[in-house]
Amino acid sequence: MSTRHVVIETGLGPITIVAMGEAITGLYFRRHVRRPPQETFGVEIGDATDVLLNEAVRQLCDYLAGRRTDFDLPLAAEGDAFQHAVWEIVKSVQCGDTTTYGRIAERVGDRALAQRVGQAVGSNPLCIFVPCHRVVGSTGALTGYAGGLKRKQALLALEEPPAGDVGRLF
Protein backbone atom coordinates (compact mmCIF):
# COMPACT_ATOMS: atom_id res chain seq x y z
CA MET A 1 0.00 0.00 0.00
CA SER A 2 1.29 3.43 -0.85
CA THR A 3 1.85 5.82 2.04
CA ARG A 4 1.66 9.50 1.21
CA HIS A 5 0.86 12.78 2.89
CA VAL A 6 -0.16 16.36 2.36
CA VAL A 7 0.70 19.42 4.44
CA ILE A 8 -1.82 22.26 4.64
CA GLU A 9 -1.62 25.65 6.29
CA THR A 10 -4.44 26.36 8.74
CA GLY A 11 -5.23 28.84 11.48
CA LEU A 12 -3.88 26.17 13.85
CA GLY A 13 -0.58 26.06 11.99
CA PRO A 14 0.59 23.49 9.44
CA ILE A 15 -1.25 20.18 9.57
CA THR A 16 0.01 16.97 8.00
CA ILE A 17 -2.55 14.40 6.88
CA VAL A 18 -1.20 10.91 6.16
CA ALA A 19 -2.87 8.20 4.08
CA MET A 20 -2.00 4.59 3.46
CA GLY A 21 -3.83 2.84 0.67
CA GLU A 22 -7.47 3.84 0.85
CA ALA A 23 -7.56 5.15 4.44
CA ILE A 24 -6.40 8.15 6.43
CA THR A 25 -3.89 6.98 9.05
CA GLY A 26 -2.69 10.19 10.67
CA LEU A 27 -3.28 13.87 11.30
CA TYR A 28 -0.41 15.72 12.96
CA PHE A 29 0.58 19.23 13.94
CA ARG A 30 4.19 20.40 13.46
CA ARG A 31 5.14 20.02 17.14
CA HIS A 32 2.73 17.17 17.82
CA VAL A 33 3.42 15.02 20.87
CA ARG A 34 4.16 11.48 19.64
CA ARG A 35 4.55 12.63 16.03
CA PRO A 36 6.07 9.77 14.03
CA PRO A 37 9.27 10.40 12.08
CA GLN A 38 8.70 12.36 8.86
CA GLU A 39 10.05 9.50 6.72
CA THR A 40 7.12 7.29 7.78
CA PHE A 41 4.68 9.69 6.06
CA GLY A 42 5.69 8.60 2.56
CA VAL A 43 5.84 10.92 -0.41
CA GLU A 44 4.36 14.41 -0.10
CA ILE A 45 1.46 15.02 -2.45
CA GLY A 46 1.57 18.64 -3.48
CA ASP A 47 -1.15 18.77 -6.13
CA ALA A 48 -4.76 17.75 -6.57
CA THR A 49 -4.12 14.21 -7.84
CA ASP A 50 -4.94 12.20 -4.69
CA VAL A 51 -8.70 11.87 -4.27
CA LEU A 52 -8.57 10.61 -0.67
CA LEU A 53 -6.18 13.28 0.62
CA ASN A 54 -8.09 15.98 -1.25
CA GLU A 55 -11.32 14.86 0.41
CA ALA A 56 -9.66 14.82 3.84
CA VAL A 57 -8.32 18.33 3.27
CA ARG A 58 -11.71 19.55 2.07
CA GLN A 59 -13.51 18.12 5.09
CA LEU A 60 -10.90 19.43 7.52
CA CYS A 61 -11.04 22.93 6.00
CA ASP A 62 -14.85 22.87 6.13
CA TYR A 63 -14.70 21.86 9.80
CA LEU A 64 -12.19 24.58 10.66
CA ALA A 65 -14.39 27.13 8.85
CA GLY A 66 -17.42 26.07 10.89
CA ARG A 67 -19.22 24.48 7.92
CA ARG A 68 -18.92 20.88 9.13
CA THR A 69 -19.30 19.16 12.52
CA ASP A 70 -18.19 15.61 11.74
CA PHE A 71 -16.14 13.67 9.21
CA ASP A 72 -16.97 11.00 6.67
CA LEU A 73 -13.58 9.51 5.86
CA PRO A 74 -12.14 5.99 5.90
CA LEU A 75 -9.87 5.98 8.95
CA ALA A 76 -7.29 3.34 9.91
CA ALA A 77 -5.39 4.19 13.08
CA GLU A 78 -2.65 1.87 14.23
CA GLY A 79 -3.19 0.80 17.84
CA ASP A 80 -4.05 -2.05 20.17
CA ALA A 81 -7.55 -3.30 21.03
CA PHE A 82 -7.86 -1.09 24.12
CA GLN A 83 -6.82 2.03 22.19
CA HIS A 84 -9.32 1.24 19.45
CA ALA A 85 -12.10 0.79 22.03
CA VAL A 86 -11.26 4.20 23.51
CA TRP A 87 -11.01 5.87 20.10
CA GLU A 88 -14.42 4.50 19.10
CA ILE A 89 -15.94 6.11 22.19
CA VAL A 90 -14.11 9.38 21.45
CA LYS A 91 -15.47 9.32 17.88
CA SER A 92 -19.00 9.15 19.31
CA VAL A 93 -18.64 12.44 21.23
CA GLN A 94 -20.62 14.95 19.20
CA CYS A 95 -19.45 18.39 18.18
CA GLY A 96 -20.19 20.86 20.99
CA ASP A 97 -20.09 18.13 23.65
CA THR A 98 -17.30 16.91 25.90
CA THR A 99 -16.63 13.85 27.98
CA THR A 100 -14.10 12.93 30.64
CA TYR A 101 -11.40 10.29 30.88
CA GLY A 102 -13.33 8.76 33.79
CA ARG A 103 -16.54 8.47 31.80
CA ILE A 104 -14.70 6.77 28.96
CA ALA A 105 -13.05 4.43 31.49
CA GLU A 106 -16.50 3.50 32.81
CA ARG A 107 -17.65 2.73 29.28
CA VAL A 108 -14.66 0.46 28.63
CA GLY A 109 -15.35 -1.38 31.86
CA ASP A 110 -13.69 0.21 34.90
CA ARG A 111 -13.37 3.80 36.13
CA ALA A 112 -9.94 2.82 37.53
CA LEU A 113 -8.73 2.70 33.92
CA ALA A 114 -8.92 6.49 33.57
CA GLN A 115 -5.13 6.89 33.41
CA ARG A 116 -4.86 4.18 30.75
CA VAL A 117 -7.68 5.91 28.86
CA GLY A 118 -5.67 9.13 29.04
CA GLN A 119 -2.69 7.35 27.50
CA ALA A 120 -4.87 5.96 24.70
CA VAL A 121 -6.40 9.38 24.03
CA GLY A 122 -2.91 10.90 23.99
CA SER A 123 -1.78 8.26 21.47
CA ASN A 124 -4.59 9.02 19.02
CA PRO A 125 -2.92 9.44 15.61
CA LEU A 126 -6.05 10.97 14.07
CA CYS A 127 -6.65 14.02 16.24
CA ILE A 128 -9.48 16.23 15.05
CA PHE A 129 -10.82 13.38 12.83
CA VAL A 130 -11.12 11.35 16.07
CA PRO A 131 -11.92 14.35 18.28
CA CYS A 132 -9.75 13.77 21.34
CA HIS A 133 -9.90 17.52 22.03
CA ARG A 134 -13.42 16.83 23.35
CA VAL A 135 -12.02 14.82 26.28
CA VAL A 136 -11.49 16.95 29.39
CA GLY A 137 -10.55 16.42 33.01
CA SER A 138 -13.10 15.33 35.63
CA THR A 139 -13.69 18.96 36.65
CA GLY A 140 -14.09 20.10 33.06
CA ALA A 141 -10.55 21.51 33.03
CA LEU A 142 -8.55 21.30 29.85
CA THR A 143 -5.88 18.66 30.16
CA GLY A 144 -3.18 17.47 27.78
CA TYR A 145 -3.57 17.52 24.03
CA ALA A 146 -1.01 16.24 21.53
CA GLY A 147 -1.33 19.48 19.57
CA GLY A 148 -0.99 21.67 22.67
CA LEU A 149 -3.58 23.17 24.99
CA LYS A 150 -3.96 26.36 22.93
CA ARG A 151 -5.10 24.29 19.96
CA LYS A 152 -7.42 22.22 22.17
CA GLN A 153 -8.96 25.43 23.49
CA ALA A 154 -9.31 26.81 19.95
CA LEU A 155 -11.02 23.64 18.71
CA LEU A 156 -13.44 23.61 21.64
CA ALA A 157 -14.19 27.31 21.08
CA LEU A 158 -14.88 26.57 17.41
CA GLU A 159 -17.43 23.99 18.52
CA GLU A 160 -19.12 26.07 21.22
CA PRO A 161 -22.88 25.79 20.99
CA PRO A 162 -24.76 28.94 20.02
CA ALA A 163 -25.65 31.32 22.86
CA GLY A 164 -28.50 29.91 24.92
CA ASP A 165 -27.67 26.30 23.98
CA VAL A 166 -25.66 24.87 26.84
CA GLY A 167 -24.65 21.66 25.05
CA ARG A 168 -24.20 18.62 27.23
CA LEU A 169 -21.49 16.69 29.01
CA PHE A 170 -21.42 13.30 27.28
Q: How far is CA 83 from CA 22, 30, 79, in A?
A: 21, 23, 6
Q: How confident is the model at residue 170 (pLDDT cuts 50, 70, 90)?
A: very low
If phi > 0 it is left, if psi is from -120 to 50 it is alpha, else beta; for residue 164 that is: left
Catalytic residue among 61, 95, 127, 132: 132
What CATH number is associated with residue 93?
A: 1.10.10.10
Does residue 50 belong to any structural domain of this protein?
Answer: yes
Across the range 91-108, mean pLDDT stands at: 93
Return d(Cα 122, Cα 152) in angstroms, integer. Answer: 12
* CATH code where residue 24 lies: 3.30.160
Counted domains in the chain: 2
Residues 107 and 53 reside in one and the same domain: no
Neighbouring residues of 82: CB distance < 8 A, sequence distance ≥ 6:
108, 116, 120
One domain, residues 60 and 85: no
Residue 165 included in any domain? no
What does pTM read for this prediction?
0.89
Could you give the strand order of the β-sheet that contains 3-10, starting from the edge strand earlier in sequence? Answer: 23-29, 13-20, 3-10, 43-44
* Residue-wise pLDDT tens digits, 2-33: 999 999 999 999 999 999 999 999 999 988 77
Active site (annotated) includes residue 127:
no
- Report pLDDT for 142: 82
C-alpha 63/C-alpha 122 separation (Å) is 21
Domain that holds residue 112: 81-158
